[in-house]
Structure 1
Amino acid sequence: MVKQKVYRKHIQLTEFQIKRLYELSEFDGVDPAEHAMRAIDAYLKNKKTEVPSKGQAQIRTKVRDQSKDPQIEGAVWLSGTVNQYEFSALILKTPAKTAMEKGRISKLSIWDPAVRKATNNFIGACIVNYDRGWDIRPSRRAEIYYHPVKAMLDDFINQH
């Protein structure tokens, strides 16, 4: 048996959309949830889902801002871009149990700024989110952006 992947995205339908689903269900006798799943499957099938290989994806990672965290002594916030995504990371002065791999990266978020602006939802726009524990682990699609950012952060840590 193949275990299906569970996505942590939620879609909220408007009252009009819900009403239309029930009208369609009354018309053809199919469960409204089945109609919703078919629509999602059709959308995903038409969406470009190929994952670029590491060689194809021209990953450009750069630090845009570096600022001290006034609440945590010696901690530094780094933010920047990795291709079309933005990232932000909190680097601690010393390793911590709750940091990534018990190191110094306490928080790391990588998000799509277009989705964040359109939805006004930070977590919904994230492709990776670590906040003293994994909230959103890097998916296969997100790994090609996560690994260069993580390597750049590791280099920063080794230099400081």
Structure 2
Amino acid sequence: MADSIYTFKAQDIHGKEFDFEELRGKVVLIVNTASKCGFTGQYRELEELHKKYHADGLEIIGFPCNQFGHQEPGSEQEILEFCNLNYDVSFKLMSKIEVNGNTAHPLYKHLKQKAPGILGSKGIKWNFTKFLINRDSTIITRYPPQLKPSELEIGIQSLLNMK
């Protein structure tokens, strides 16, 4: 298993390959997202964090996922239009993936291994599970879906201040 997120690649929502090496030296928040979920409003707070801290080195990456209640049924184009129209999302969105099971994206296999959930659970429980990663690719923690992105702000600030 890889030791760093920098070894991974994924397709972005526009169909282009994204090399996570581009995140070297940044604080990263990775979130599995869905457009028809009770937590979908978190897009707003994610975007607020992105606008406030991107220039300081924060990268937020959303991975749409349809594994939980089929709450992300749309195509990449439909997801992008929804996010732009409703939340004016400017942080990076990736192509739809699976986060659990044999077909889970390798990045998510890595994230779950490095930051298990409650009681050591390796699976992602629901949409909007968040992983916070520091500037040297150490996964700091996993946050549950119900924790609002705004509640991560102090932790994000402290990681951004660590140069």
What is the TM-score normalised by the length of structure 1?
Answer: 0.26
Higher RCO, Cα 8 Å, sep 6+:
2
Larger strand proportion, structure 1 or 2? 1
